[in-house]
Amino acid sequence: MSQQLPPSADWIGHPTVDAVFDVVRDTAAEVREALPERRAYVEGHNPSGEKVRAADEYADELFCERLLALDSVGSYASEERQSAREADDGGEYHLALDPLDGSSNLTSNNPMGTIVSVYDEPVPTGGDHLVAAAFVLYGPNTTMVVSDGDSVDEYLIEGAADEGDDGRKLLREDLTLPDDPTVYAFGGRRPDWTDGVTAAVEDLEADRLKLRYGGAFIADVMQVLTHGGVFAYPELTDSPEGKLRYCFECAPVGFVVEAAGGRASDGYGDLFGTDPDRLHARSPVYLGNEELVDRVEATLS
Ligand code: FBP
């Protein structure tokens, strides 16, 4: 049994989850440092059939090793692994990570992220079983957003001039969606959108929202959390379930957006209304200001 040190930072006032977020903060710094030398694609594909970069593999190995070493972690699942890895000695929380979200942005040097879900039972399971969620954004700065489901805080986790002794600097406490939304981001190709999705986008554009889409889920969602609006990776004519993975991407980020006063939908109802039937299940996802997500839902239904 590894010696469990007390967490160095009070992330959400829940010591065992705070210890998980400490490891995420420290490991993210090593992931960022390793990116320049791990841009190449490696052999094979991930369980969703996508190409894998050396950086994806490296980040996944590092997070898995570090997080499974914590007494409170019972299992580690990720987008890069067919199935979850169990801890040798149990643990009450079950983690699901997207170790390097948006890694296709590496070649163009655009932002990427890490998404961390803390569930109270093994995945696949519904978002109602989330205890906490966090994501790291590797942008001009390295930031980390954390939520216990009731509120959202954002920290600078690297290079903060006046970084406290807990390796972070609070940027925005109790982050909430602005009331006057200005941006939208819809993934997929316009010709592949269903008629409902096309109509929903035209409605948002008529509301004079500006397109802000950068191809990395976490970076695009941070635009919505900062400026107000809607992010969607919608249903497509050739893939009604969209692209993003429910357990690793949609549920944790939906959890954060709802804690910031917004809404998370699968286009026809609450995102947490239905449970995934398999670990790498995909789901359409619409996140952002409640009034706008309601309007998108009304247009699709
Ligand atoms: P992964 O890199 O974790 O597979 O993430 C998938 C993703 O890159 C999201 O971050 C992003 O929102 C979406 O795919 C972009 O998809 P597309 O290339 O179709 O716009």
Over residues 30-45, the pLDDT tens digits come to 999 999 998 888 898 9
Q: Is 98 annotated as a binding residue?
A: yes
Same domain, 233 and 128: no
pTM: 0.96
Give the residue-averaged pLDDT of 20-27: 96
Over residues 101-156, the pLDDT tens digits come to 999 999 999 999 999 999 999 999 999 999 999 999 999 999 999 999 999 999 99
3-state secondary structure of 29: helix
Q: In the beta sheet, which residues pair with residue 130?
A: 119
Ligand 1, atom 15: nearest CA belongs to which residue? 215
Exposure string for 225-263, b = 16+ CB within 10 A, e = fewer: bbbbbbbbbbbbeeeeebbbbbbbbbbbbbbbbbbbbbb
Same domain, 132 and 154: yes
Same domain, 101 and 167: yes
Cα–Cα distance, 91 to 175 (Å, whole number) = 30
DSSP 210-238: EE---S-HHHHHHHHHHH-EEEEE--BTT
Give the structural domain span for 99: 15-172
Q: Is 147 annotated as a binding residue?
A: no
Residue 221 Cα to ligand 1 middle (Å): 12
3-state secondary structure of 15: helix
Same domain, 147 and 197: no
Say if CB 100 and CB 80 are below 8 A apart: no
Same domain, 32 and 148: yes
Q: How many structural domains comprise the chain?
A: 2
Residue 200 Cα to ligand 1 middle (Å): 21
